């Protein structure tokens, strides 16, 4: 399949290039950057020397990109993918957007949280969390790739919500992400001297991934779900550890919790069930498309605590995009994604 990457110089975009290089069914035909157009990609990212030497072009050449591509990955900040999506309507091109523009069923929720008008409300889009929306993704034209915090948190909580094992108004998500989740642009908040030897919360009660988690849990439970979500930045480049809390419904046993996870994920290659009492670690998923899950039952307070570890740039972004690409194109879902986590 001929693929193009719009926004190839961000962390997610260049991670896509890394993974696509070893994908036997993908040929990268165009890569774009508005600020670096005309430069070869390996001049910006020298780790690509000998691997990619293509020149970046402007996405203003969208007609050329459309004519030459079967699938277009969009790695742009929120608010920018809709223009690309509208330009590709009727072009017989599949779209996988790594941003937020096509993640929401209700575009008014997007507008409320992202403070941007949604200009492609009639887009036929599907939410791109492969393990839970596979059947819809198979026939999708536009896939809204799930966010990083959301991937870790939804995979952690979906079995409990689907089986009705938890009190949905008690869900609390406490998640910690490496700095790459903030993007490549320079910022005081992610400056080395600010983050080294430091741990801090941000956007308490207002992070934009909150409604995305709520949307999925509401769909799986059949009830409206409102959660409390607090994200943190930690001084490492990659990884997310999401710690999710919820009160168990009266009479729910530890064995019922175990069974819920086994039933939903027993055939999922990329979800590794470490089991009750386990402690997932970000290092064990680094560079891979795996999500490691472990859970604990705190009988004293009647609460379940679920731990979820992913690499935010792979399962939380580029790897998940390729997993969705494989589903859309009819390839084996693990194609190009079986690399072993990098350890130590």
Tens-digit pLDDT profile for residues 101-131: 999 999 999 999 999 999 999 999 999 999 9
113 shares its domain with 180: no
CA atoms within 13 A on the CB side of 261: 24
Same-domain check for residues 99 and 246:
no
100/203 same-domain check: no
Q: What is the average per-residue pLDDT within 126-139?
A: 98
Residue 340 domain-assigned (yes or no)? no
Give tens-digit pLDDT for 305-326: 999 999 999 999 999 999 999 9
138 assigned to some structural domain: no
Amino acid 185: pLDDT: 85
pLDDT mean over 329-342 = 97
pLDDT for position 43: 96
- Domain holding 174, by residue range, is 149-314
Mean pLDDT along residues 182-200: 91
For the stretch 221-245, pLDDT in tens is 999 999 999 999 999 999 999 999 9
Residue 232 sits in a domain of what CATH number?
Answer: 3.30.360.10
User: ω into residue 262 within 30 of 0, thus cis?
Assistant: no
Q: State the average pLDDT over residues 21-40.
A: 97
CA distance 100 to 270: 23
Domain-located, residue 93: yes
Domain containing 35 — which CATH number?
A: 3.40.50.720
Average pLDDT of the chain? 97
**Is 111 found in the same domain as 33?**
yes
The domain total for the chain is 2
pLDDT of residue 186: 83
pTM (2 decimals)? 0.97
Short-list 288, 333, 324, CA closest to 73: 324
When pLDDT is cut at 50, 70 and 90, the band that residue 184 belongs to is confident
H/E/C letters for each residue in the chain? CEEEEECCCCHHHHHHHHHHCCCCCCEEEEEECCCCCCCEHHHHCHHHCCCCCCECECHHHHHHHHHHCCEEEECCCCCCHHHHHHHCCCCCCEEEECCCCCCCCCHHHHHHHHCCCCCCCCCCEEEECHHHHHHHHHCCCEEEECCHHHHHHHHHHHHHHHCCCECHHHCEEEEEECHHHHCCCCCHHHCHHHHCCCCEECCCCCCCCHHHHHHHHHHHHCCCCCCEEEEEECCCCCCEEEEEEEEECCCCCHHHHHHHHHHHHCCCCCEEEEEECCCCCHHHHCCCCCEEEEEEEECCCCEEEEEEEECCCHHHHHHHHHHHHHHHHCCCCCCCCCCCCCCC
Banded model confidence at residue 260, pLDDT cuts 50, 70, 90: very high
* Residue of 148, 244, 291, 329 with catalytic role: 148
Residue 24 within any structural domain of the chain? yes
What integer pLDDT is reported at residue 334 of this predicted model? 98
Distances (CA, A) of 305 to 116, 230, 275: 35, 15, 12
- What's the rounded mean pLDDT across residues 41-65? 96
For the residues 273-278, what does the mean pLDDT come to? 98
Is pLDDT of 294 > 90?
Answer: yes
Tens-place pLDDT, residues 71-97: 999 999 999 999 999 999 999 999 999
Active-site residue flag, 148: yes
């Amino acid at each position: 399949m001929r693929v193009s990457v719009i926004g190839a110089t961000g962390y997610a975009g260049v991670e896509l290039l890394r993974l696509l290089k070893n994908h036997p069914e993908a040929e990268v035909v165009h890569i774009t950057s508005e600020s670096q157009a005309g430069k070869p990609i390996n001049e910006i990212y020298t780790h690509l020397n000998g691997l990619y030497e293509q020149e970046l072009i402007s996405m203003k050449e969208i007609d050329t990109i459309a004519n030459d591509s079967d699938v277009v990955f969009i790695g742009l900040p929120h608010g920018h993918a809709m223009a690309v999506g509208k330009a590709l309507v009727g072009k017989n091109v599949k779209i996988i957007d790594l941003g937020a523009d096509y993640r929401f069923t209700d575009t008014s929720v997007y507008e409320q949280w992202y403070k941007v008008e949604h200009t492609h409300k009639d887009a036929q889009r599907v939410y791109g969390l492969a393990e839970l929306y596979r059947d819809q993704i198979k026939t999708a034209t536009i896939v809204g790739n799930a966010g990083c915090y959301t991937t870790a948190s939804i995979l952690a909580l979906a079995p409990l919500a689907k089986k009705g094992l938890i009190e949905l108004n008690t869900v609390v998500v406490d998640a910690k992400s490496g700095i790459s989740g903030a993007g490549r642009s320079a910022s005081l908040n992610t400056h080395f001297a600010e983050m080294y030897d430091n741990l801090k919360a941000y956007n308490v009660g207002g992070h934009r991934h909150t409604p995305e988690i709520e949307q999925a849990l509401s769909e799986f439970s059949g009830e409206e779900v409102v959660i409390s979500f607090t994200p943190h930045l930690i001084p490492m480049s990659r990884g997310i550890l999401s710690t999710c809390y919820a009160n168990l419904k009266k009479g729910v046993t530890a064995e019922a919790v175990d069974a819920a996870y086994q039933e939903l994920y027993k055939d999922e290659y990329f979800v590794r069930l470490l089991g009750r009492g386990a402690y997932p670690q970000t290092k064990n998923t680094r560079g891979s498309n795996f999500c490691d899950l472990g859970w604990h039952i705190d009988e004293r307070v009647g609460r379940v605590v679920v731990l979820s570890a992913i690499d935010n740039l792979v399962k939380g972004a580029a790897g998940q995009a390729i997993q969705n690409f494989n589903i859309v194109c009819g390839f084996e879902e693990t194609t190009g994604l079986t690399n072993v986590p990098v350890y130590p």
